[in-house]
Chain A
Amino acid sequence: AQSVAQPEDQVNVAEGNPLTVKCTYSVSGNPYLFWYVQYPNRGLQFLLKYITGDNLVKGSYGFEAEFNKSQTSFHLKKPSALVSDSALYFCAVRAVNNAGNMLTFGGGTRLMVKP
């Protein structure tokens, strides 16, 4: 079975400071990894993905994530946080050879960026 852990329910950061939202995963075989963001009363929006190749992935709105196979992690980062980055963030994993090709989500981390 595949799983995703987001160990922090909430991350607080001051505007202009760097931010990290943590994600670790468990999957049989190679993973596809995704980060999504959810704003109030909206569906999830895709931020970035890791498929293969370079371990550092760049995505929308200045976000990036680093894939670390040995630590089975895929932490989301941004060098300088904005108040508008405040939202709910979800990490998700799918095994490349998953027969059902199902996507498994973490429990979500609320990011609060204060002015």
Chain B
Amino acid sequence: NAGVTQTPKFQVLKTGQSMTLQCAQDMNHEYMSWYRQDPGMGLRLIHYSVGAGITDQGEVPNGYNVSRSTTEDFPLRLLSAAPSQTSVYFCASRIDRTSNQPQHFGDGTRLSIL
């Protein structure tokens, strides 16, 4: 199994550009989430989804959109990139929202906004 796959691994954008970070999992997990990692701040939750067709906001949702049309895919969209969105983005999944099982993480997308 591939687990959680994120693409691209690296991206440089100009302020105001848009882009989509891709995330796919092959474990049939219902719960998926997006985090951003900034130095000294740990991981902060951006958006999450408890199943296909259902999404909700996390701690820091502003400037980001998500959708969940299939169980496997959970893309994150930046509509108009800002320098404050320079970060490392991680996608994660677990079996379902109530499970005490750990989350599985992708290897991240390193995003720089100029």
Residues of A within 8 A of B (CB): 4, 6, 9, 32, 34, 36, 41-46, 49, 51, 90, 100-108
Contact = CB atoms under 8 A, between A and B. Distances in A.
A106 B48 CA distance: 19
A101 B100 contact: no
B74 interface: no
Given A102-B45, A107-B42, 11 more contacts: A34-B102, A36-B105, A41-B107, A42-B108, A43-B92, A43-B108, A44-B92, A46-B102, A46-B103, A49-B102, A102-B33
Contacts of A36: 102, 105
Most chain-B CB neighbours within 10 Å: which of A6, A103, A106? A103
A102 B50 CA distance: 11
A51 B102 CA distance: 11
Nearest to B4: A43
Most chain-B CB neighbours within 10 Å: which of A6, A44, A107, A108? A44
Contact of A43 (B45, B48, B58, B107): B107
Contacts of A6: 42
A6 B42 CA distance: 10
A43 B90 contact: yes
Chain B interface size range: 20 to 34
A41 B41 CA distance: 17
A108 B41 CA distance: 8
Most chain-A CB neighbours within 10 Å: which of B43, B50, B97, B106? B43
Nearest to A104: B45
B56 interface: yes
B98 interface: yes
Given A42-B107, A43-B105, A43-B108, A102 B48 contact: yes
Interface in B42-73: 42-45, 48, 50, 56, 58
B100 A45 contact: no
Most chain-A CB neighbours within 10 Å: which of B42, B50, B97, B108? B42
B56 A100 contact: yes
29 contacts: A4-B42, A6-B42, A34-B102, A36-B102, A41-B108, A42-B107, A42-B108, A43-B4, A43-B90, A43-B92, A43-B107, A43-B108, A44-B43, A44-B103, A46-B102, A46-B103, A49-B100, A101-B97, A101-B98, A102-B33, A103-B33, A103-B103, A104-B45, A105-B42, A105-B43, A105-B44, A107-B40, A107-B41, A107-B42
